[in-house]
Amino acid sequence: MAFLNDNYSKLKAGYLFPEIARRVKAFTDSNADAAKRMIRCGIGDVTEPLPEAVRAALHKAVDEMGVRETFKGYGPEQGYEWLRKAIAENDFRAHGIEVADDEIIVSDGTKCDTGNILDILGAKNVIAVTDPVYPVYVDTNVMAGNTGDADARGAYAGLVYLEGNEANGFVPAPPKQHVDVIYLCSPNNPTGAAATRAQLEAWVAYARANGTLILFDAAYETYISEPGIPHSIYEIPGARECAIEFRSYSKSGGFTGVRCGFVVVPKTLLATTASGEKKPLHPLWLRRQTTKFNGVAYIIQRAAEALYSADGKAQVRALVEHYMGNARILRDAAQSVGWKTWGGVNAPYIWVKCPGSLGSWEMFDKMLHEANVVITPGAGFGAGGEGYFRISAFNSRANAEEVGRRIKALKI
Ligand SMILES: *Cc1c(COP(=O)(O)O)cnc(C)c1O
């Protein structure tokens, strides 16, 4: 008899996006005109084509694979040295941040990495997440058996939820209580809020005082436009002793369908063994990856490398400016009808308070039926998201402008 992992039965089975799809289908099935007019500002996926520098690198790498002399089989599981060096130099050392080439571990993306990281952490950790939250952090802890059951609001027993709200600008401060692990995402999905230097300093101070591990998801780092907002947790002195950073090319280079990212695990980062000894986490993550992962495809790593060329950098900048131009249009439209917004300045998401006393699913239905626009109800990101919704700026300019017009025409 094979026993299954009972923790999976605790999951609120893929509730958010299937429910969105169900409501959109039910509406469009009975309304062909609305189906044609429908604009999706829901799922956080990029829409614009891959940068030219990336496509050129891909073509070249594919051709190398077609010649015996330059063909590549298995590569180093942790990534080719030339890519790890390009990352450490361009993303960190060029900004005065101390990160060694071999502290970079290349992967197929941050969703996988933030889930897989639990492999190297013990079972007794008190784990904290912010609420609203990127659901992957929660669900992977449920799967790993780090939680009890969910309550009626969808909150799992055993997890510590730190509420993001209007008072803290959706950047929760460190709690009074002790936690062992905290997931921080800045700039944030879904709220678009970015932590200031002072806020991250408070987190690093808390982590160092409590022996807490910060899991820092910087997937939206390239979208930061305000000076002074940290792009990396390692800009904060002391973070090399308490934080792992996750980065992805999904939103910067438009790699959601290409798949590449990396983790920074400083060799100075220690955690505690069952017997109370302090040991580095770096060798564990390396061991985990070299055992359970066989590396990112050579051609994809060449594509990622191309993002660091002069052309690649300029093309990424243009992509980000395109999406952030959309964000400005959508944010201005929302504000012009009196909606209260957050984000859309350092992140491609606008977080909006539902007007009147509408719940987030009621607002979803209203936008669907009356504006034929798909947004994401805040409640899908945790109890703290109820009463809010997220508009994604990942779209064409024409669609963003049209959504702006429809928001202004909406009767609330
Ligand atoms: C999109 C996103 C990522 C990127 O995940 P990949 O697996 O690299 O595509 C990571 N974290 C958050 C919060 C995101 O929204």
Element (DSSP H or E) covering residue 410: none
pLDDT digits 0-9 by tens, 132-154:
999 999 999 999 999 999 998 88
Mean pLDDT of the chain: 97
pLDDT digits 0-9 by tens, 303-353:
999 999 999 999 999 999 999 999 999 999 999 999 999 999 999 999 999
CATH topology of domain 13-49+312-409: Aspartate Aminotransferase, domain 1 (3.90.1150)
Of the pLDDT bands very low, low, confident and very high (cuts 50, 70, 90), residue 357 is very high
pTM of the model: 0.98
Q: What distance in angstroms lies between residue 357's CA and the mean position of ligand 1's atoms?
A: 31
pLDDT of residue 43: 79
Considering only the top CATH level, what class is 55-309?
alpha beta
* pLDDT over 80 at 14, yes or no: no
Q: What distance in angstroms lies between residue 207's CA and the mean position of ligand 1's atoms?
A: 24
* CA gap 185, 382 in Å, rounded: 15
| List of E strands, 111-175 | 127-131, 159-163
| CA angle centred on 143, ends 138 and 146, rounded to 5° | 70
Q: What distance in angstroms lies between residue 305's CA and the mean position of ligand 1's atoms?
A: 19
What end-to-end distance do the CA atoms of the chain give, in Å? 57
- b/e burial code for range 78-112 (CB count within 10 A of at least 16 → b): bbbeebbbbbbebbbeeeebebebbbbbbbbbbbb
Q: Which of 250, 258, 346 to mutate to test the pocket of ligand 1 (most atoms within 8 A of CB)?
A: 250
Domain extent listing, the chain: 13-49+312-409, 55-309
* CA gap 377, 359 in Å, rounded: 9
260 CA closest ligand 1 atom index: 8
* CA gap 93, 104 in Å, rounded: 12
Q: Which of 17, 133, 251, 390 to mutate to test the pocket of ligand 1 (most atoms within 8 A of CB)?
A: 251
pLDDT of residue 303: 98
Q: What distance in angstroms lies between residue 110's CA and the mean position of ligand 1's atoms?
A: 5
pLDDT digits 0-9 by tens, 156-213:
999 999 999 999 999 999 999 999 999 999 999 999 999 999 999 999 999 999 999 9
